[in-house]
Amino acid sequence: MKAIIAILILATGLGFGGAARADLQDGSDAYNRGDYATAVQEWRPLAERGNPGAQVSLGYMYEAGEGVLQDYKEAVKWYRKAAEQGFAQAQFNLANVYADGRGVQQDYKEAVKWYRKAAEQDHAAAQFELALLYSVGNEIEENVPIAIAWARRAYQNGNEDAKALYLQLQWKDFIFASDVRALTALVEAVESTCGDDITCSFEYLWNYIDVTEDRHISLAEIARFQRNIIKYGAAAQETEKLTTEDL
């Protein structure tokens, strides 16, 4: 966190006067040498005057209990002040406390809201966390394509953890979601076109199973159809992840 603090202080001091930049740097220097009380003393007046870098840094001090008594609610207060000014790191930190329920009631939808705001500013860690949330659907609707998109952006922005997640989600979409979508399309086509016509329904089903289009159904094609039925049923009933044996 020390490197992050230093970067925040330097970056957010650019739009302020020389005295403010000096105080930000003094706080950063104090933090980096382990003098947390002095860091807090330098940052607090700046935070109270609206400097978002000082606000997010002060929020972190309260969250970590460095230089002050640990106080998650106070951390949230300062994160929110900086986040509402559009400061990406503060938006990310605020999302984290909502995701974990520290200083606020746990709220994944609120976490997604703030992760997204930071992610839209190319905050790679926020992009990764957003991908994770959409990949598992933790109190939000699971959406693998959106998860893939954010994982890809996070990886492109240098988040190494996102690479493995991106590849995992691509594979999951390939072996699971694409099959479910294809079977869903079959069901919709049969319902809209065939009605009670058994011959029509059988023809649609045959064409779906006959992947090789040779008008012969192989054991492999039957096995594929059976696996896809399992996937379709799991997706429709929102069951837990299928096991390797199921697939």
CB 68 within 8 A of CB 20: no
- The one-character DSSP state at 197 is -
This prediction's pTM: 0.67
pLDDT at 20: 61
pLDDT at 19: 61
Spell 184-216 as b/e; 16+ CB within 10 A means b.
eebeeebeeebeeeeeebeeeeeebeeeeeeee
pLDDT, tens only, 159-207: 989 988 988 887 766 656 666 677 777 788 888 888 888 888 888 888 8
Distance CA 60, CA 215 (A): 66
pLDDT, tens only, 33-86: 999 999 999 999 999 999 999 999 999 999 999 999 999 999 999 999 999 999
Average pLDDT of the residues in 210-237:
71
pLDDT exceeds cutoff 60 at 239: no
pLDDT at 3: 45
